Amino acid sequence: MKSIYLDNAATTPILPEVIDVISSSMATIYGNPSSTHQIGRKAKSLVETARKNIAKHLNVASNEIIFTAGGSEADNLILQNSVKNLGVTTIISSKIEHHAVLHTIKNLVKEFGITALWVDLDENGDINYTHLEQLLQQTDGKKIVSLMYVNNEIGNLLNLKKVSDLCLKYDALFHSDTVQGVGHFEIDVKQIPIDFFTASAHKFHGPKGVGFAYIKKGFGIYPILHGGEQERGARAGTENIHSILGMEKALEIALTNLEEESTYIQKLKSSFIKELKSNFKEIKFNGLSESETKSSYIILNVRFPKEYAMLLFNLDLKGIAVSGGSACQSGSNKGSHVLNTILSEAETTKTSVRFSFSKFNTEQEIDTVIDVLKQIIN
């Protein structure tokens, strides 16, 4: 049975070219980048070249990129520093952020007694920008807005420019979890000023366990992991050089082929939407995931007309990999916090499935998934 992988928002298959880079570096680059001898200096040079190339793709300075173990660590590094070292007393966010942000805010409120304010959302999970401005206007003291660029469950796109403008107007810092955006959309902080954003390589066909934080020059960032002076003192621990080089290669490929691949994937998604509507009359789409302009071309969150308790299990038996929400909460029995926030109680009892696509998917696979869904549901 040939498997069909439609869970690319959880993680993506690693590219062969990236595997080659990682394998080659593992065989030849074994020095510690902190060592001062030639072998160590060679490793250090490769890490810094990767940093420069990643920064160039994002139109930022290389010393604004801090390598981490992934997006969750990067979000923690930024938000914890904003409170502990930058004097932030209020965080403005939304109830449908990734748990790397929500749980960090919760713990900062508990530990430091800061204020957390939640911006209103409409029934599609879209930010109420008028309410965001009201929150900014009425908040005294140092504040930071933390809103994700691409929602990992429903695909909604944040208007980065609008939020950036509001933060500048009301003298607020701006952090965006861009884990689902980097490698899939152009991000240029010279055009749209953002103080902090994050990335994780395995979301754009790179290796797991590596990512980075963008921290705008001028902010003093202190480590949340203590030890050595790696990453300019911002993050202790010997650099994961092989994965960093793999991430560099994956991002290069993603952004070089961005227009062609995004067009192709959007075509697959649009075709899938058309077939779903044709075959399942009462089907609905959660959030703005049906939209071509207001959602990620990768994510489609589908709500079926009633509960099908074994749908994910039966799809898996047929070799079709999808999810009911974020992979990070797959062990939870509470369901999706995103859907629980934006849907009525009656709607949350219906079965929702997140399908997420990549350049490796085909029209034939889409047809197969439709046929299997018809068999299971009908």
Contacts of 196 (CB under 8 A, 6+ apart): 78, 82, 173, 174, 175, 176, 213, 214, 215, 216, 219
d(CA 325, CA 335): 8
Contact 31, 40 (CB under 8 A): yes
Site of tokens 């350049």 = 359
Contacts of 248 (CB under 8 A, 6+ apart): 21, 49, 50, 53, 54
With residue 118 as reference, give the H or E element that holds it. Answer: strand 115-118
Q: Which of 29, 236, 328, 377 is catalytic?
A: 328
d(CA 56, CA 16): 23
* Closest to 80 in 3D by CA, of 71, 88, 68: 88
Handedness of CA 193, 195, 88, 219 (dihedral sign): negative
Active site residue 328: yes
The residue type of 57 is H
The DSSP symbol for 150 reads B
Which residues participate in catalysis according to the annotation?
328
